Structure 1
């Protein structure tokens, strides 16, 4: 059964690095990838753009292809966006379909600070988005999970619904949403850092130009 992969974030704003890693992960996993904007991220300041604007940016950025999709359930639910709650919803909907939570290497290293982090492995596989040739220094309790759960071949994730960890080598694009927000606030035009579709509607980037 083809996996369902999830890439969460504030997407404040959505930029080309988000899209590039989601697309590469989709190809590596042969999976549908849903981009899932967070309502209130527990581990970082709230986004500048409101939920309606971030959804509009994602819709514009994802238009014209069918490999990457938008899932706005966390915005509809409101409150802190705990990943385990989202994965529990998806598991109830998807049955035994493999679900893959996509995390950058830095986010994965901080997993032991997440709400009910051990339960994540009961709900999903984890795909760690890594730079080719990169090295890792996982915390000890996370390293133990990696040692017990790692597989080298992404196709192995189809064997069961959850519980494995796979590293996915994706092209490193050093694009920062913080830098983009700073450029927009300074009146500059980050033309080749953002999806072209975002420049078609001035309202999409207005929250950052006004900050």
Structure 2
């Protein structure tokens, strides 16, 4: 069955690296990618840009690209942005048999065992883990590694054969962008245009975010 592919994150701000990851996943799985900005992520420090601003920047970054969409469901739901609740909503909409894939960077995945009810997530979705040089998956804790070990698959197609519970490594070349680095650069007054989609840079400048150095 056709995979529904979502890309969760804070996107604070969305940058060219995010777009490259989404493009690689869209190519690997042959399906569109829905960016899913979190509103109030409980497992990390508060975002600098407001949720609506981050979603607006995502929509600006992907405008006109038919491979991508923006799903604002977490902004419409009150309370902490637990991925468990989002995946339950998606599962209720799509039914029990539709494969769902959650696109996630390796840094976030290595901390998955600190997420709310993290074991239950495997009963709702597959995880597509975006690898990054210098951040080996072997660094995960013993409990998470034990849960993950039998779930890894070697091909994207394997994730279309079951609705949830599997893992796939999405290889990516090293990219220079990081949201933290971009925010730090903007605060220092550096020109970060090369790492940002032009509409996102314009939005940051217009709204004076981070504060703006673009």
- What's 1:107 paired with? 108
Q: Does 1:76 align with 2:72?
A: no
Aligned length: 211
After TM superposition, give the deviation of residue 131 of structure 1 in Å: 3.3
Q: Distance in 1 between matches of 2:114 and 2:204?
A: 38
The one of 174, 181, 184 equivalent to 1:182 is 184
Structure 1 segments of 4+ aligned residues over 3 angstroms from their partners: 131-135, 199-205
Specify every segment of 5 or more residues in structure 2 that has no aligned partner in the other structure, as ranges: none
**Residues of 2 paired with 1:164 and 1:128: CA distance?**
11
Q: Measured at CA, do residues 205 and 172 of structure 1 come closer, stay the same or move farther in structure 2, by a change above 3 Å?
A: farther
> Matched residues in 1 for 2:85 and 2:199: separation?
32
| Superposition RMSD in Å | 2.0
Within the candidate set 200, 205, 210, 1:208 is matched to 210
| Residues 179 and 92 of structure 1, relative CA distance in 2, 3 Å threshold | same
TM-aligned CA distance change 1:128 to 1:185, over 3 Å: same
Q: Secondary structure at the match of 1:45?
A: coil
Q: How does 1:79-90 map to 2 (within 5 A)?
A: 79-90=79-90
Using the size of structure 1 for normalisation, the TM-score is: 0.92
TM-score, with length taken from structure 2: 0.91
- Per-residue CA deviation, residues 88-118 of structure 1 (Å, 9 max, x unaligned), is 0000111121101111112111111111111
In structure 2, C-alpha distance between the alignment counterparts of 1:183 and 1:131, rounded to whole Å: 21
Q: Secondary structure at the match of 1:59?
A: helix
- Equivalent of 2:156 in 141, 154, 173: 154
What residue number does 1:22 align with? 22
